[in-house]
Amino acid sequence: MKIAFIGSWGTDGGVSRHLTPIVEWLRSQKYEVKVFTHYKEAPHGMPLNIEDEDYVVRCYTTQGRKIKELKAFNSEPILRALKEGYNVFIIEDLGMLPMEDLLEIFPRVKAGAKVLLVNHDNKPKPNDSLFWKFEWDAIINFLPGQNEFMTKHYSRDKIHLTDFPCYPIVKIDKDIARQSLNLPKDKKIIITFGEYDFISPFRALYELREKDPSIYLLCLTYTEKQKKDLEGKLKELGYEKGYDEIRAEGASSWKRRAEYVAASDVVVLDKGENITGEGAVLSSTAHQIMGWGTPIIARANKFFEPLNMVVVTYRNNAELKRKIRELLYNNRLRENIIRRARAFALAHSPERVTTQILEIINDLTRPTYPPCGKVKRLRTTPLIRPRREAVIAINGELVRWERCVYNAAAIRLEGVTYVLYRALGYDGISRIGLWWSRDGIREDGRLDYPIFGPETSYELPRDISARREYHIRKYGIIREAGGTEDPRVVEIDGYIYMTYTAYGDIVQAGLAKVKKEDFLRAVEEFRSFDEWKTIWRREGLIFPGIEDKDVILYPQKFGDKYCVVHRIPPDMQIVFTDNPVKEDYETIGRTFARPRPWLWDNLKIGAGAPPLKTKYGWLHIYHGVGEVKGVRKYMLGVIVTDLKMPDRIIYRSPNPILVPEKDYEVHGWAPNVVFCCGAVPKHKDSNEVLEEDDEILIYYGGADHVIGVGEARISELIPRKIRENI
């Protein structure tokens, strides 16, 4: 794949900020890339003081602009790239590209390549816009609001949602950065820069410095003229002493900006008091600097609404002063903001966002997969129902712990199927119960108490009473208030590993393990929840700080690496790691699979059961959310990955294998849901290799209140055409 981009480059504007980390990541992965952009004499955005790379070609002006001695649009380099084998052209537009000229050559480009539009528009263009009459192969947006107005121009099956990329995490020692930049080491530096209003926040910053002389105000303008104009304006407003320092370095490279951010204690971004934004907007500057270790505070407006958990916002000068003081002197708050911002930057990393785009491209060129068979329900009624009379003692009080049972893990060990199910109690807490069966269908045992439940700070909210009160006000009952949810289990090297959703202040992914021999012994010998607590070992959080769920482990290592699949909405990611619970993780992995706008799983997807090993590949039962005749439904589908390269998908079902149809799937705690966390071989143990005639049992939550079971053969789930081509 050779990829050409057409859009703004080398400027301090949103389009260039989007394009830069994507191109840099592609180059790091050895992709052949070209960037066709504006002449330096006609830039879109403030030009940066950087040299062009050898893959950058400047060949046009901004829309409608004419410059003497420059051809407004030189199509030759673009058409030459097509002849050189560039087979993907990605256009990044915010109304600044020469639309008419590009549309003249796009039919020729499309005849030999895929053509995608990355839409930066903040509001709908006129219905007669030329650019939106072209038949793009795909449209890429960043926010749902953009999708809404784009459906007026294109069918939903062409419109894709990706994230806006952050820049790479940068770790620069503050003292070293200050020494390099010749900034005072003993001051609390507050910095502002970029396409922002340096006057609007100044009164509050000035008053802060008057009360606290340790504060040092630093402003970076783009040019010397802007610097002089700012100094003059502040004097006109009566400030004898303006910023402590104004430097004309705002147009330096992003790596130089990262030094300034690392050297500072707070970054202030203020677009002015009268900016409200319109349509789908976001702050590309905040995305750029998010992972650079300094908290960001910004005037509240639509640019920062998508970032409300990671950027501190203010509405007036009083709030700005109070919140800056908190960021400077409340270390716990400061570190919490920095930690959340870093997690956000990793969740929106160039690796993840670029592979989202690559998956969209792959879907355009991938052959159509044949449909697979359906899962056969083995009962007309649920397999496992809640026992609403079951009670356990929690902190000296009896709690009914099974209001609903659903979303169950499953593993088959030594000829017995164990189902570890999520039980939501009347107290709003999720715990994990145990049911088992030799044939996987008829009950041979079920414990009267949980085998796992919340114990750590990340498994319950700090103020659970407040969450329960909120539920009562909103729903009239206590719903999911916290706990340990949606387990998935695998056996690796003599241990049963359990991934689960830890619902504390935020939703995160937890990992625990127990020795297989201890688990089997406990089933026979233990008589209480407290005994089970003694054998589980909590490993910690997978990707701490990231709102994440639907995490599975492959049931074997690859080399010495665990393979983890997880779900940051709306897609699934995959990562190889020597330790799934690293505190200082540096990647959340690549995009593994995405929603398909033209098929049943068009809204979001997530892992279901951990994969089963077949002779044809790793068999995943996953869930997809889509609209069926205007009704939102959770359904199940199949993904098969390569045995040696588990990140390579070799099959994905174009049809769902199970759809909510039965009354207990359609009506319940969460209507129209079938949700799988566990699947096992019917006649083999979980870690045995399955043949085409082997059957599997699929356990699933029905409408989030009961558990059902279905059956299918491997040959039904992996079509013959796929099996024969492996």
pLDDT digits (tens, 9 = 90+) for 384-399: 999 999 999 999 999 9
Give the confidence band of 472 by pLDDT, cuts at 50, 70, 90: very high
Model pLDDT, residue 719: 98
- The predicted structure's pLDDT at residue 153: 87
HSE, side-chain direction, 13 A CA sphere, residue 380: 0
Q: Look at residue 333 in the predicted model and tell me its pLDDT.
A: 95
Q: What's residue 302's pLDDT?
A: 85
List, for residues 186-230, the tens digit of each pLDDT value. 999 999 999 889 999 999 999 999 999 999 999 999 999 999 999
Distance CA 86, CA 446 (A): 60
User: What confidence score (pLDDT) does residue 244 get?
Assistant: 98
The H or E element containing residue 520 is: helix 516-525
90-103 average pLDDT score: 89
pLDDT tens digits along 345-356: 999 999 999 999
Dig out the tokens for 3 from the structure. Answer: 């990829």
Q: What is the DSSP string of 602-670?
A: -SEEEE-SPPEEETTEEEEEEEEEEEETTEEEEEEEEEEE-SS-TTSEEEE-SS-SB---SHHHHSSSS
Look at residues 243, 247, 196, 251 and name the one whose alpha carbon lies nearest to residue 220: 247
What is the per-residue pLDDT across 41-50, written as a single tens digit (0 to 9) for each? 988 889 999 9
DSSP-based three-state secondary structure for 592: strand
**Residue 458 DSSP one-character state:** G
Can you tell me whether residue 394 is helix, strand or coil?
Answer: strand
Q: Which fold has domain 2-162?
A: Rossmann fold (3.40.50)
The string of pLDDT tens digits covering residues 51-60 is: 999 999 999 9
Element (H, E) at 76: helix 76-83
What is the token pair recorded at 42?
């006609």
Strands (E) in 126-238, as ranges, are: 138-141, 159-161, 188-193, 215-220
Q: Tell me the pLDDT band of 557, cut-offs 50, 70 and 90.
A: very high
The pLDDT score that the predictor gives to residue 280 is 59
Per-residue model confidence as pLDDT tens digits over 688-712: 999 999 999 999 999 999 999 999 9
The pLDDT value given to residue 668: 96
Instruction: Compute the mean pLDDT over every residue in the chain, rounded to the nearest whole number.
Output: 95
pLDDT at position 276, please? 58
Q: Put residue 99 in one of left, alpha, beta given phi > 0 → left and psi -120 to 50 → alpha.
A: alpha
Cβ distance 421 to 678 under 8 Å? no
Question: Where is 525: in which H helix or E strand?
Answer: helix 516-525
Q: Pairing relation of β-strands 507-515 and 495-503?
A: antiparallel
**Equal CATH topology for 174-347 and 367-724:** no
- Nearest-Å Rg of the Cα atoms of the chain is 28
Return the CATH number of the domain spanning residue range 367-724. 2.115.10.20
Site of tokens 């700012």: 230
Task: State what percent of residues in the chain have pLDDT above 90.
Answer: 87
Given pLDDT bands bounded at 50, 70 and 90, which one contains residue 491? very high
Cα 516 → chain centroid: 33
Rounded Cα distance between 483 and 458, Å, is: 9
**How far is residue 597's CA from residue 8's CA, in Å, rounded to a whole number?**
28
Cα–Cα–Cα angle for 658, 664, 670, nearest 5°?
A: 85
Cα–Cα separations (whole angstroms), residue 446 to 90, 379, 673 = 56, 19, 25
Rounded to an integer, the average pLDDT of 11-19 is 93
Each residue's pLDDT tens digit, 619-662: 999 999 999 888 999 999 999 999 999 999 999 999 999 999 99
Residue 122 has a pLDDT of: 72
**Residue 92 — very low, low, confident or very high, per pLDDT cuts 50/70/90?**
very high
Separation of alpha carbons 182 and 234, rounded Å: 24
**Residue of 571, 574, 622, 620 lying closest to 597 (CA atoms):** 571
Omega of the bond leading into 570 within 30 degrees of 0 (cis) = yes
Question: Is 88 in contact with 4 (CB distance < 8 Å)?
Answer: yes
DSSP assignment of 215-263 = EEEEEE-SSHHHHHHHHHHHHHTT-SS--SEEES-TTS-HHHHHHHHHH
What pLDDT sits at residue 163? Answer: 96
> What pLDDT digit, counting tens, does each position of 446-463 carry?
999 999 999 999 999 999
DSSP 574: E
Length of the chain: 726
Question: Order of strands, edge to edge, in the sheet holding 706-713?
Answer: 376-377, 706-713, 695-702, 674-681
State pLDDT tens for residues 115-124: 999 988 877 7
Task: State yes or no: pLDDT of 277 exceeds 60.
Answer: no
Q: Which fold has domain 174-347?
A: Rossmann fold (3.40.50)
Residue-wise pLDDT for 415-443, tens only, equals 999 999 999 999 999 999 999 999 999 99
Domain boundaries, the chain: 2-162, 174-347, 367-724
Residue 278 has pLDDT above 90, yes or no: no
- Identify the helix (H) or strand (E) that includes residue 116: strand 114-119
Instruction: Please state the φ and ψ torsions of residue 524, each to the nearest 5 degrees.
Output: -80, -35
